[in-house]
Each structure stands twice: as structure tokens, then as C-alpha cells.
């Protein structure tokens, strides 16, 4: 258990490489599965590498702020299969 750097929930986390495709040099941050999927769903690797390569930049982006606010309200600890639909509904 760790704290997700995006939604700040204490949950099981996955490792996100802040600089995609540069795994050796990239800093690694803990993000929950939901936020991680969202990061890669809304940003391309190119955008991540050049614009959202810090936790602050990711967290303050419009996309992730909205998502984090939403996911905190769901009280979901684990991402169930059906959450995929909820996520896509939220994204419209």
C-alpha cells in the first residue's frame, strides 16, 4: 500500500515512469491503477515526455484534477472491471 501521487488515496499502486520510453533515467512515481490508466488515456507519450514529466504538471493538469476529484468520491479501492465503463462515461 502506498499513496497515489495523483488522487492521494492510500491504495495499491503501480509504477508510472514520468518520462515514457526512457525507463532507465525516468523517475518513477506511485500511482493507483485508475489514475495510471487515465494518465495514459488522456496524454500521449509525447505530451507526457515534454509537458507532463513532473508530478506537479500531471496533478495540475485539467484532465487529472477533474479525474482525481471524481475518483475520490467513488470510494473505490480497487478498479473493478465495470469501472472501465464508468471511466469512459465520465470522459464522455
* Residues of the shown chain interacting with Zn ion in the complex, contacts defined by CB under 5 A: 4, 6-7, 16, 32, 35
Smallest gap from Cβ 92 to Zn ion, in A, equals: 20
What's the rounded Cα separation, in Å, for the pair 36 and 40?
A: 6
State which residue, 15 or 85, has the beta carbon closest to Zn ion: 15
Smallest gap from Cβ 52 to Zn ion, in A, equals: 11
Q: Which helix (H) or strand (E) holds 16?
A: strand 13-17
Smallest gap from Cβ 89 to Zn ion, in A, equals: 18
Residue 12: Cβ within 10 Å count: 14
State which residue, 35 or 87, has the beta carbon closest to Zn ion: 35
Quote the longest CA-to-CA distance of the chain.
36
Tell me the β-bridge partners of 31.
14
Amino acid at each position: 500500500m502506498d499513496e497515489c501521487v495523483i488522487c492521494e488515496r492510500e491504495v495499491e499502486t503501480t509504477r508510472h515512469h514520468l518520462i515514457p520510453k526512457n525507463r532507465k533515467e525516468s523517475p518513477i512515481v506511485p500511482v493507483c491503477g485508475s489514475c495510471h490508466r487515465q494518465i495514459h488515456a488522456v496524454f500521449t507519450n509525447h505530451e507526457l515526455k515534454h509537458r507532463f514529466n513532473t508530478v506537479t504538471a500531471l496533478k495540475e493538469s485539467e484532465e487529472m484534477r477533474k479525474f482525481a476529484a471524481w475518483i475520490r468520491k467513488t470510494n473505490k479501492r480497487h478498479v473493478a472491471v465495470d469501472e472501465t465503463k464508468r471511466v469512459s462515461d465520465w470522459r464522455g
